Amino acid sequence: MGGSSNQQQEKTGRRPPVDGKNPSHRTSGNGKSTLFHEQSLGNAGPDEIMRFILSHGGRTDERQPGPRQPRRNNGRKNGRTALRFIDLFCGIGGFRLAFERAGAKCVFSSDWDRFSRQTYAANFGEEPAGDINTIPVESIPPFDILCGGFPCQPFSLAGVSKKNSLGRKHGFEDERQGNLFFSIAAILAHHQPAAFVLENVKHLLRHDKGRTFTIIKDTLERELGYQVQYKVIDAASVVPQHRERIFMVGFKTARPFAFPKFPAVGPTLASILEKRVPEKYTLTDHLWEYLQNYARKHQAAGNGFGFGLVTPRDVARTLSARYHKDGSEILISQGKRRNPRRLTPRECANLMGYPKDFRIPVSDTQAYRQFGNSVVVPVVERIAMGVVKTLNAAHLQGHNVEQELFARQEVPCNAIVHPTAGLPYRPVNEGHAQTILSNKS
């Protein structure tokens, strides 16, 4: 979900056909068509899954070579080389911020949404590559860590409910987004990186009675040979928002990794709200009346649908990509005499843990979608520091990630503050980087 905005297509809401043909087919370099969108993997065995992965990527496409992206530095500091990572389904760069703060260097990024690429370029000085399915895996530069928040709508509770109501497929059978996990698997199979970090919605664990997650985990462990750990983390410990996401961390060589601990008490909305907010964010009388009637209707029917009215002393619901429609999941109370208001795009950035100087060059509608699809940066940052520490163990002995994080904060992590700003940059040297890569088997 990564930070991913691949969920949102530009104007039509549809993914452009690959090669200009039927979107359920993909043409390989030898001209043969590979059917991948409509394959059902629910009952597939290990051999079928691996054949699917290898057919889904790992080949040369002479028509569209992978683009080389500009780099701002050579990844070296004091004669040492930083760990390299790639940022798939990158959205607006939440994973990138987190891993760069942990001392790693981004060597490739990809997202199919042009508005997200616009925001990414405004903040990182380079535009990501487009649809990962059009990029041959061998054209991706060498890297040590794969990062990806692959699209969550095919697996989310809300997404599945909506697709069911519209008679559409979900999970792996979602024609646009369901098979993007296997793009990740193809890249892992080809490049064999030392580690990966994946993010998705909590409901991934229960989707299709657990079969979807079993296929994903078995593919990563049995077919690709990674040691995998996973954990559901609620971001409310570091930002004033309940946002439960599953994180999967894998290492090619068994390593003593443990997910970081988080504060027991998190911040409130007062820490992210702006003092002066334009009147346009206050709900009109018509919209406010509609939302109240809508809530009463569903409450009478025993449903849980309704708006989320909060004060600066509260913690918000999950910010979703649909927030631009009516803002109903998070409405800020302005007292009894005024209608509530929705969050501003800057407040959404704060709510997701982005820095104050993060640029928002797009419309409010696009900004709401982008932040609603993003990862929470401080959550990923703690995981990133743990992964980098694990891979750089020879150079980080005695370096306690959690102690350094909390030592720089007088209160539990505020969404607006860089929790690791100013921490020492300690990349591995070239010899150790070569050792890491030689251990990949």
- Which residues are designated catalytic? 152
47-55 — which CB contacts under 8 Å span 24+ positions? 49/215, 49/218, 49/219, 49/223, 50/219, 50/223, 52/182, 53/182, 53/185, 53/186, 53/189, 53/219, 53/223, 54/186, 54/189, 55/28
Alpha-carbon gap, residue 84 to 144, rounded angstroms? 5
Three-class SS state of 245: strand
Question: Distance between CA 357 and CA 106 in Å, rounded?
Answer: 20
User: Quick one: DSSP state of residue 129?
Assistant: B
Q: Which residues pair with 145 in a beta bridge?
A: 85, 195
- Residue whose entry in the numeric block shows the structure tokens 């979807």: 212
Sign of CA dihedral 261, 150, 31, 169: positive
109: helix, coil or strand?
strand
User: Any bridge partners for residue 80, and if so which?
Assistant: 77
